[in-house]
Amino acid sequence: MEDKRMVNKSAQFKNMIKHIDQVPENVIKEEERLTAASPFRQKFHIEAKSGFLNDPNGFSFFNGKYHLFYQWTPLAFKKDPSIWHHGWYHLASSDLVNWEDLGPAIESDSPLDKHGTYSGSAMTVNDKLFCIYTGNTWTNTQTDDWRRLPYQVGAWMDKKNRFEKIDKPLITDSFSDCTGHFRDPKIWMHDNNYYAVLGAQRRNLTGTAKIIKSVGSDLTQWQKYGELKTDEKHLGYMWECPDYFEVDGQGVLLFSPQGLPAKGDHYRNIYQTGYFIGEPLNYDTLEFKHEKFKELDAGFDFYATQTMEAPDGRRIMLAWFGISEIDYPTTKYHYSGCLTIPRELIIKDKKLLQRPIRELKSLRKKETQINLLIDDSMSELNLTGMVTQELDFEVDLSLAEKFVLDLRADQENSHHTRLIIDKEKQACILSRKDSGVMFAEKYGTERRRQVKFQEKLHLHIFIDVSSVEIFIGKGEVVFSARIFPNEDQTKIFVQSIGGESHLVGKIWDL
Ligand code: FRU
């Protein structure tokens, strides 16, 4: 894999710049103009003005506001001239819904991060925001024996959103039993000590998580503390973006392992995201006793999660609503990627449930009540014609076998994104076989999950211009999918098979 990347990297190195403001304004404007012309621009999801967006970073609460950054490669799709710049892009919000654009934040301008300001996290410390991230560098680039040399780098942000990097690395290089794949520190505090968990690859090419710990209180010195001792020694070849937190006295390690082979309905995406739930971490031995790995999202596009604890104690998570190596139809407009809606994480029966955060209610505009008996004819839900909507209803299948919901459908309903609830099989199936512009077909066009229910099932759905997020039951199953419908796909159709279904709930334009 690395070999393939070498070629790209050498091209990038030739045209690397430290600061985005070194790029002539007309070049940036042209990229933004192209992006703005896309018919797929989201309405209430975070997207970049142009270029490539991936992981959420530095999700935190500081100085009375939520702060959120994302991995940004602004000129990723500009080939001529190809200029490479990579860093964190900064947003702030008082409600997690309306975001203030604070522009490029940490950039790859120091010897410690010269080949990439990679993912990391942030935490309020006194009157500043402390950010910790991986500075990616390559050594031996003149030879065929390139090697990653990762640094863990610290930076302070003040109340005016100005950054100052700490000159010396907090940690240099990887653990001795690991390869150069060692990154994505997620910081937290325990008993007055700061810890961070990082994703790593052991020398035997298995994935793991390592812990570093700060020495002293000024956060400039850290030590390699040890490996997180989980029960999984062979779960993929690399773990990215790990996050350790506790909810209701239980420990959770949420991370993105790469290299899990597909197994039944699970691990169908190129890379996965999931979690262990267990007893709280033992800080002396680093032992973490946990249940089996569980995949978090049942959809197609979900990776590199990051959580934070809101001031009211809720654990809130965002993810990259995308996955690497997928060629999204938006690349034609020189951008790719967005973030999921923020979701609250709740633990029930040793499982993580995901719920859309309550603040999203402020997006609601026109409300329509529904109380409908659906039969076996394919019928249009008579709505307002807006494509951006929230649906929140219960389906009663006591007299039916299956319920079919076609979102973003055209008039003939020959194109749509289809959700099927199958009572007999106790399963939900999401298909984007006929969703519109096709992509990533080699990873399959259907996702399926078992869902236990008696007769009624709750569905809570967010539809944006080019995505659906479907929360099922109490949030035990969530399908996140990017879709790229044609412009005439503005309708919703429903059908009940094997008897009538009863729908009761509400729909809002967003
Ligand atoms: C995950 C990831 C991280 C890395 C970042 C670089 O998508 O590969 O491991 O820090 O992206 O952009």
pLDDT value of position 1: 36
Phi, psi angles (nearest 5°) of residue 14: -65, -30
**What pairs with residue 480 in β-bridges?**
469
Amino acid at 315: R
CB-based contact 45:341 (threshold 8 Å): yes
DSSP annotation string for 67-87: EEEEEEETTTT--TT--B--E
Residue 143 structure tokens: 């030879």
| Pocket lining: 240 vs ligand 1, CB cutoff 6 Å | yes
What integer pLDDT is reported at residue 247 of this predicted model?
Answer: 96
Q: Which atom of ligand 1 is nearest to the CA of 136?
A: 10
Q: How remote is the CA of residue 421 from the centroid of ligand 1, in Å? A: 35
DSSP code of residue 175: -
Q: How far is the CA of 449 from the centre of ligand 1 (A)?
A: 28
Q: Which residue has the higher pLDDT, 139 or 283?
A: 283
How many residues can be counted in the chain?
A: 510
Report which of 275, 279, 131 is spatially closest to residue 209, judged by C-alpha positions.
Answer: 275
Domains of the chain: 9-359 (2.115.10.20), 364-509 (2.60.120.560)
Reported as a pLDDT band with limits 50, 70 and 90, residue 382 is confident
Q: Please give the helix or strand (H or E) that residue 149 lies within, else none.
A: strand 147-157
The DSSP H or E segment spanning 479 is: strand 477-482
What are the tens digits of pLDDT across the range 4-20? 445 556 666 778 899 99
Asked if 55 is an active-site residue, the reply is yes
Ligand 1 pocket check for 55: Cβ under 6 Å: yes
What is residue 14's predicted lDDT score, i.e. its pLDDT? 77
* pLDDT digit string, tens, across residues 28-59: 999 999 999 999 999 999 999 999 999 999 99
Q: How far apart are CA 148 and CA 180, in angstroms?
A: 5
Q: Is 148 in the pocket of ligand 1 (CB under 6 A)?
A: no
Q: Is the CB of 305 under 6 A from ligand 1?
A: no
Ligand 1 within 6 A of CB of 181: no
Q: What is the mean pLDDT of the chain?
A: 95
Q: How far is the CA of 475 from the centre of ligand 1 (A)?
A: 27
Give percent above pLDDT 70 in the chain: 97
Question: At 136, is the pLDDT very low, low, confident or very high (cuts 50, 70, 90)?
Answer: very high
- How far is the C-alpha of 148 from the C-alpha of 6, rounded, in Å? 11
* Ligand 1 neighbour 434 (Cβ under 6 A): no
Nearest CA to ligand 1 atom 9: 240
Rounded Cα distance, 368 and 397, in Å: 22
Question: Looking at the predicted structure, is the pLDDT value of residue 3 above 60?
Answer: no
Indicate which atom in ligand 1 lies nearest the CA of residue 119. 10
pLDDT tens digits, residue range 322-368?
999 999 999 999 999 999 999 999 999 999 999 999 999 999 999 99
- What is the Cα–Cα distance from 34 to 51, expressed in whole angstroms? 10
The response to whether residue 152 sits with its C-beta less than 6 Å from ligand 1 reads no
pLDDT digits (tens, 9 = 90+) for 467-510: 999 999 999 999 999 999 999 999 999 999 999 999 999 999 99
What number of CA atoms fall less than 13 Å from residue 17's CA on the CB side?
Answer: 15
Q: Which position among 55, 113, 406, 464 bears the catalytic label? A: 55
pTM above 0.75, yes or no: yes
Residue 92 neighbours by CB distance under 10 Å: 17
Q: Of 241, 256, 303, 326, which is best to mutate to test ligand 1, by the most ligand atoms within 8 angstroms of its C-beta?
A: 241
9 or 207, higher pLDDT: 207
Which of 9, 70, 71, 325 most suits a substitution to test ligand 1, by most atoms within 8 Å of the C-beta? 71
